[in-house]
Amino acid sequence: MTENTEDRQRPNANYKLSRERPHPMDEEKLTFYYNRQHRLDKAPRSVNKLYEEPKQKSFNLIRPLIADKPRATIFFTIIVLCVVIIMLGLLGFMNKGYTLDGNMLEISGTRFEGATIIVIKKTVKKNNTAYTGTVDIGISPVMEGDEFPIFLQRIFFTLQQEEETRFVVPYEAQELALVFQLENEKTPLKIKLKVD
């Protein structure tokens, strides 16, 4: 009865489960090569390239920037953006200044202790044909519904290359409208100025 229970528990009792060896130390004879040159002789060409002595590389600034497609795309995108920004600057689209009859004007406004100060920096753009003389400026706050009187200011442009004029206006608005009128120019220069 004991034999029957053992047979039921182990149906493959008559099969060899592992290879029997007469001596456990008797292994298959395997040949191991530890010689580096022998291994490299049998290795493929791509592996041999890795072990070759590196050649002296000359310094290259552009090659790492365009080594693969994503890097090249980013590099050329940056170049195109730089060219566009330079062109916009040369054409005058990114300039904060205004041109008034050969003079370049930079206009800014600040508030100080309840007063609004207007600063006008004039730079001569064209030496021979730049305007010199009186400039009348009309200033009014930009607000809906309310009517404010126009504040008038007169400044003078001289022959100096750079000039700076400051004056105070009696408004505390966030935005001012300025109109510049020259003696000989019929078309006035209209500017909206945001006060800091």
Q: Read off the pLDDT of residues 153-167 as tens digits, 9 standing for 90 and up.
A: 888 888 888 899 998
CA dist 114 and 81 (Å) reads: 43
Class for domain 98-194, per CATH?
mainly beta
Please report which confidence band the pLDDT of residue 4 belongs to, taking 50, 70 and 90 as the band edges: low
CA dist 72 and 65 (Å) reads: 6
Q: Read off the pLDDT of residues 104-143 as tens digits, 9 standing for 90 and up.
A: 888 888 888 777 888 889 888 766 778 888 888 888 887 7
What's this model's pTM, rounded to 2 decimal places? Answer: 0.51
What residues does each domain of the chain span? 20-95, 98-194
